[in-house]
Amino acid sequence: MTLPLIIYRSLRQHALSTLITAGSIALACGLLMCVWTVKTQAQAAFTQTTGGFDAVLGARGSKLQLVLNAIFNLEASPGNLAWSDYEAIRRHPAVKAAIPIAVGDNLRGYRLVGTVPGLLTDVEYAPGKKHVIAPGGRVFQAGQHEAVAGSFAAAKLGLKVGDTFHPFHGLAFDEKNQHAETYTVVGVLEPSNTPADRVVWIPLEGVQTMSGHDPRAATDISAVLIQLRAPTAGFMLDMMYNKQGNRLTLAYPVGTIIAELFGKIAWFDQVLTLVAYLVALVAAGSVLASIYNSMSARRRDLAILRALGARRRTIFGAVVCEAAAIGALGALAGYAVYFVLLAGVATVIRAQTGVVIEVWRWQPILAWSPLALVGLCALGGVVPALKAYRTPVAETLAPLA
Amino acid sequence: MLTVSHLTKSFPTPEGTRVEIVHVADFTLAAGEQLALRGESGSGKTTFLNLIAGILAADGGRIEIGGTVLTALSEAQRDRLRAEKLGYIFQTFNLLQGYTVLENVLLGMSFGPRGADRAHAREVLGRVGLGHRLDHFPRQLSTGQQQRVAVARALANRPRLVLADEPTGNLDRRNAREALQLIREVCRESGAALLLVSHDEEVLAQFERRQDFKDINAAARTAQIP
C-alpha cells in the first residue's frame, strides 16, 4: 500500500508535469510503434503482393516500374509491347499462364485496366483465393463496353451494377480529357485487400481501341502478367529477355524486386526509426527533468517519510517507481496514439496502393516498445532518486522544526 | 526504556573547526515515564532528540532504547527501530500536505512492523477527535487539528517512546493546553514513555518530572548551535 500511495500522491501533486511528461512519452511510444508496424507490415504486404504472378514482361526499362505499374497499379507504364510479344511468351513452354494488361485511362483518378476476363475468374491472386464478383454482378465480356469495379474504387466512386461512365484519358484525372465511350458496370469485386480493389477493370480491347488513342497501337499492350510452371524457368526467361535480348524487360521474381525497393529506401526507414528513438530518449529525459526539478519541492516530504521510518532505499525505490509509473501512463496512452496514427497511415496506404495495413494485428513491438520506454523512464528516474536518497533528514526538517 | 551515556555530537563550522552541540554524560527515562526537558532555542535539544530518534548519527557515546543499542546500528537498522519503537511529534507537525489525514497516519504506520492498519488508524484518529476528518487534507484543518493528526501519527504505531519537540510551539494557549493534555493522555494510555522538550514554562509546569537540558548537556553550557 505504501509505495503505490506515495507514487499516486506524488503524481497527483504534480499532475500538470505528470500529464505533460506522460503525453510526450505517449507520443514517443505511439510514434515508435507506428513507424515499426508500418515498416514491417508494409514491407511484408508489398513483397507478398504478387497478384498471383511470378513475373511481369514489359517494355525495356525499370523492373521496379514494371512491377509497380502491372502489379500495384501505380506509376506509369514504361512503354508498350507488341501483341506478338504477348503471343510469344504465352506459347512459351515454361509459362503456365500469361495475362495481358493495358493501361492509359482512368475514371476520376481511379485507374482503368484493360485485361482478359480470365484475370478475374481464373487467377488465384493468393494461394486458394480468387477474385469474387459481388452478388448481382458478373465479369465483363471481352470486346464489350463493360466494366468490373474493384471494391475500394466502387466505394469511392459510388459505382454499382448498372451504372454507366465515360473513361478519362491518361492516368491522372482531368475532366477535359473525357473519352466518348460509355461503359456499363456489370460487376463489383468483393474486397480482396490487394491493389485490384482500387482499379476499374475493363476488356483489353477497350483500352486498346479507346477513341483518341493512337490507332497504330491498337493491338499493343502495357505488360504481360506471367505464371510459370516452375520457378527455375524464371531464370531462363530472365536470361532470354534481360541479358540476351534488349527490347523487353522481364521482372522476376516480383517479390524480390519490391524487396529491392525497400532496400533502396532503407535509409528513410532508418531515419524515421532514429527520430522515434530520439523522441523516446527525449521523453525519458523529460521524466528525469520533471522529477528532478520537483525534488526541491518534495525534499521536505521525503525527509518526513524518512523521519517516519522510511529507509533510503524505500525513498529511492519510490522515485524510480514514480518515473516508471509516468512511463507506464505514457505507454498506455501511447497505444491510443499508435492506433490513431496507424489508422490514418493505413488509410492513406490503402487509398494510394490498395495494400492493407492491419491496424489491430499483434506485433511484438506493441509489447517491447512500451516496456522499453517504462524501463527507460525508470532509468531516467535514477538521477532524481539518488538526489532523494541523499536527502539529509535532520537538515531538511531543521529550518521549520 | 531510554539510556544515554557519554553521547556527543558536533557540527563543522564555516571556519573549518567543529563545534560540539551535544555532550550528554548520563540520561535515563523509564518505561511509561513522562519527562519535560527545558531548553532555550539553540541549546541543542532538537539535536538531542534527533540523535535519540536515529535521524542523526552520534559522534560517540551510547543510546539504548528498549534493550537495543541504537548507536551500534546501521542507518537502515536505525530507520527500522524508529519505525518500530519511536513516535516523533514535531513543532511544525510535519504533515504530508498532499496526503489526507488518514493517509498521513497510515503512512506513519506502514514503515512499522504491523504495517498500515486502516482500522487502527481510524481508531487513533477517533481518539484524538478527528474521526470525522479522515479524508480532509492538512490544509483544510485548523492548526490545533493538524497537531492532533501529528499526535495520532506518532502514536498509531504503538511506540514505546514518544519524542515531542516543542509540540505546542505553534499553537495558541488553549490549543497548546489541549494538545499537551492529549499527548500525555494517549502516551499514558498506551504505556509509552514521553520525552518532551520545550522552553515554554506553562508547558513545563504540567510535568511532574522536569529537567534543564543544560544540566545534562555539558556542551550547552559552553556553545550555541551555529
pLDDT digit string, tens, across residues B156-209: 888 999 999 988 887 888 888 888 888 898 899 889 999 999 988 888 998 999
Q: How many CB pairs under 8 A join A and B?
A: 84
- Asked, for residue A260, whether it belongs to a domain, the answer is no
Rounded Cα distance, A169 and A210, in Å = 9
Residue with cell 513491438: A365
* Domain match, A121 and A269 both: no
- Asked, for residue B45, whether it belongs to a domain, the answer is yes
Rounded Cα distance, B175 and A369, in Å = 57
Three-state DSSP class for A354?
A: coil
Rounded Cα distance, A241 and A251, in Å = 10
Three-state DSSP class for A132?
A: coil
Cα-Cα-Cα-Cα torsion A193, A194, A195, A198, nearest 10 degrees, comes to: -30
Rounded Cα distance, B134 and A161, in Å = 72
- Total domain count, chain A: 2
Q: Pairing between strand A95-107 and A223-228?
A: antiparallel
Is A12 touching B (CB cutoff 8 A)? yes
Is A393 touching B (CB cutoff 8 A)? yes
* Domain match, A210 and A78 both: yes
Interface test with A, best of B96, B97, B155, B160 (most A CBs within 10 A): B96
Summary count for chain A: helices (H), strands (E): 14, 12
* B210 CB burial (10 A radius; 0-12, 13-18, 19+): middle
The alpha-carbon gap from B129 to the nearest alpha carbon of chain A, in Å, equals 22
Rounded Cα distance, A356 and A337, in Å = 19
Helix or strand run (H / E) with residue A35: helix A15-48
Asked whether the beta carbons of residue A314 and residue B107 sit closer than 8 angstroms, the reply is no
- Asked, for residue A236, whether it belongs to a domain, the answer is yes
Query: Given this model, what pLDDT does residue A169 score?
Result: 92
- Asked, for residue B200, whether it belongs to a domain, the answer is yes
Nearest CA-CA partner of B196 in B154, B149, B138? B154
**Domain termination site, one of A196, A225, A252:** A252
Cell numbers linked to A385: 532518486
Asked whether the beta carbons of residue A309 and residue B112 sit closer than 8 angstroms, the reply is yes
Three-state DSSP class for A287?
A: helix
Contact present, A233 and A90 (Cβ < 8 Å): no
Task: Write out chain B residues lying below 8 Å of A393, CB-based.
Answer: 50, 55
CA of A398: which chain B residue's CA is closest?
A: B46
**Domain termination site, one of A252, A274, A307:** A252
Is B71 touching A (CB cutoff 8 A)? no
| Domain range enclosing A196 | 55-252
- Asked, for residue A122, whether it belongs to a domain, the answer is yes
- Asked, for residue B226, whether it belongs to a domain, the answer is no
Residue by residue, pLDDT tens for chain A (401 residues) are: 678 889 999 899 889 989 998 998 998 899 889 988 988 888 888 887 888 899 999 999 999 999 999 998 888 888 899 999 999 999 999 999 999 999 989 999 999 999 999 999 999 998 899 999 999 999 999 989 999 999 999 999 999 999 999 999 988 898 888 999 999 999 999 998 888 998 999 999 988 888 877 777 788 999 999 999 988 889 999 999 998 888 999 999 988 888 888 887 788 878 888 887 888 888 888 888 888 888 877 888 899 999 988 999 999 999 999 999 999 999 999 999 999 999 999 999 888 887 888 888 888 999 999 999 999 899 989 999 999 998 888 888 864 43
CA of A394: which chain B residue's CA is closest?
A: B55
* Domain match, A67 and A132 both: yes
Q: Is the pLDDT of residue B226 over 70?
A: no
Three-state DSSP class for B137?
A: coil
Q: At what angle do helices A15-48 and A266-307 cross, to 10 degrees?
A: 150
The domain that contains B143 carries what CATH number?
3.40.50.300
Asked whether the beta carbons of residue A394 and residue B83 sit closer than 8 angstroms, the reply is no
**Domain termination site, one of A217, A252, A287:** A252
Rounded Cα distance, A76 and A64, in Å = 11
* Domain match, A144 and A290 both: no
- Total domain count, chain B: 1
- Asked, for residue A258, whether it belongs to a domain, the answer is no
- Asked, for residue A109, whether it belongs to a domain, the answer is yes
Q: Residue A380's CB: how many other CB atoms inside 10 A?
A: 27
Is B116 touching A (CB cutoff 8 A)? yes
Q: State how far Cα A141 lies from the chain centre.
A: 34
* Domain match, A296 and A278 both: yes
Asked whether the beta carbons of residue B98 and residue A393 sit closer than 8 angstroms, the reply is no
* Domain match, A68 and A32 both: no
Name which of A2, A12, A300 is nearest B107 (Cβ-Cβ): A2
Is A314 touching B (CB cutoff 8 A)? yes
Contact present, A352 and A15 (Cβ < 8 Å): no
Tell me the ipTM for this assembly.
0.88
The alpha-carbon gap from A277 to the nearest alpha carbon of chain B, in Å, equals 35
Contact present, A139 and A133 (Cβ < 8 Å): yes
Asked whether the beta carbons of residue B79 and residue A309 sit closer than 8 angstroms, the reply is yes
A202: β partners: A114
The alpha-carbon gap from B53 to the nearest alpha carbon of chain A, in Å, equals 8
Rounded Cα distance, A122 and A119, in Å = 6
| Domain range enclosing B147 | 2-221
Backbone Cα Rg of chain A: 30
Asked whether the beta carbons of residue B84 and residue A309 sit closer than 8 angstroms, the reply is yes
Task: Write out chain A residues lying below 8 Å of B103, CB-based.
Answer: 5, 9
* A352 CB burial (10 A radius; 0-12, 13-18, 19+): exposed
The alpha-carbon gap from A300 to the nearest alpha carbon of chain B, in Å, equals 8
Is A391 touching B (CB cutoff 8 A)? no
Is A3 touching B (CB cutoff 8 A)? no
According to DSSP H, which parts of chain B are helical? 45-53, 75-85, 101-110, 118-127, 143-155, 173-190, 201-204, 213-216
The alpha-carbon gap from B209 to the nearest alpha carbon of chain A, in Å, equals 24
* Domain match, A221 and A115 both: yes
Query: What are the start-end ranges of the E strands in A194-295?
Result: 199-203, 223-228, 248-251
Nearest CA-CA partner of A301 in A3, A2, A6? A6
Rounded Cα distance, B142 and A40, in Å = 62
Task: Write out chain B residues lying below 8 Å of A395, CB-based.
Answer: none
Give per-residue pLDDT as tens, A289-310: 888 888 877 888 899 999 988 9
- The count of residues in chain A is 401
Is A15 touching B (CB cutoff 8 A)? no
Rounded Cα distance, A330 and A24, in Å = 7
